[in-house]
Structure 1
């Protein structure tokens, strides 16, 4: 089967119509025909493969649930599905601020560079470097979303309400996650001092 047959709009409409009637075979055919193209689209927006996979899954759940509302006179099937993927990708970016996610290695080098003081003695520089590495290690041990909340609050200097708005979380959740994360950091850093 050629790509032209696989992405034939009439065939996609038929499968969407079947999915609207809860026909799992039609939905599977729709998925098989379009998932690679939609995944590539999500990957271009999100860059990270795991985020694109998450968005693709959420998108196909939305396609399954909303197939009955598809209106062929408003958009071609691929346009309709691509719009769902785009919206889910942008929702994920807003929700998790994936572009400012703190990864351990990058965080480690950024903190060390930020703490580098050209006027520091070699002993002071070594001490700051050791502290920065310990902090980076403890930050990387936090759960991803908790690390992001803490990073946005302290390293991007956002208020609790700004963090809540940026991550689309209730402010109470943000405050709780920050408090718990600070407690975990304190415990982790204390263990490091004893080692």
Structure 2
């Protein structure tokens, strides 16, 4: 992270103390004073304005609820705030990385490639080998959209909104694909 010019210590300590007492006007003043520099740091780390603003918002929510945790003897108040911001940025980077990995994993239909197919099914290790093979066969019988939707929802952990965005289909269609896929798999597994 680029070196930040520290804000004056005394006003920040006073404002944090007032925030710890629940004084909203002090919180607004603290935000006005520190947010431009914190946003600059977030932009430096995240490289995307929307994510940087999200990190800044989460940082100030944390500051509001944890202002009483700040101990002046342990360091400069702005350094304390930058540490909170940095942790929020790292959380966002981890979340975005997981999201990108999910997207890459679904780019190809997992059941079209035997290697991936086997690894997908092996992860459902609560099933015995016969049930695993039966599940694999049942999944392969689904229409491509249904199979992909079912795997996105239950294997990769996509939310409905993420699936709508990725598949570029209405929410009702996505839910219908999942419901029909679940019903088909259930019926197939009971045969």
TM superposition score normalised by structure 1: 0.54
Deviation for aligned residue 1:152: 3.9
Q: CA 1:39–1:27 in structure 2 vs 1: closer, same or farther (change >3 Å)?
A: same
Q: CA 1:186–1:42 in structure 2 vs 1: closer, same or farther (change >3 Å)?
A: closer
Larger Rg: 1 or 2? 2
The DSSP-based 3-state class of the residue aligned with 2:37 is helix
Gaps of 5+ in 2: 111-115, 121-151, 171-191
Match of 1:60 in 2: 60
Q: CA 1:178–1:50 in structure 2 vs 1: closer, same or farther (change >3 Å)?
A: closer
Is the 8 Å Cα contact of residues 45 and 89 (structure 1) preserved in structure 2? Answer: yes
Match of 1:149 in 2: 102
Is the 8 Å Cα contact of residues 15 and 30 (structure 1) preserved in structure 2? Answer: yes
Is the 8 Å Cα contact of residues 150 and 181 (structure 1) preserved in structure 2? Answer: no
| Pair 1:34-2:31 in alignment | no
Q: CA 1:173–1:80 in structure 2 vs 1: closer, same or farther (change >3 Å)?
A: farther
Deviation for aligned residue 1:153: 4.7
Describe the superposition over 1:134-181 as per-residue Cα deviations: whole angstroms up to 9, x where unpaired.
xxxxxxxxxxxxxx62324546x9977xxxxxxxxxx97653539994
What is the distance in 2 between the residues matched to 1:185 and 1:37?
Answer: 38
Aligned length: 125
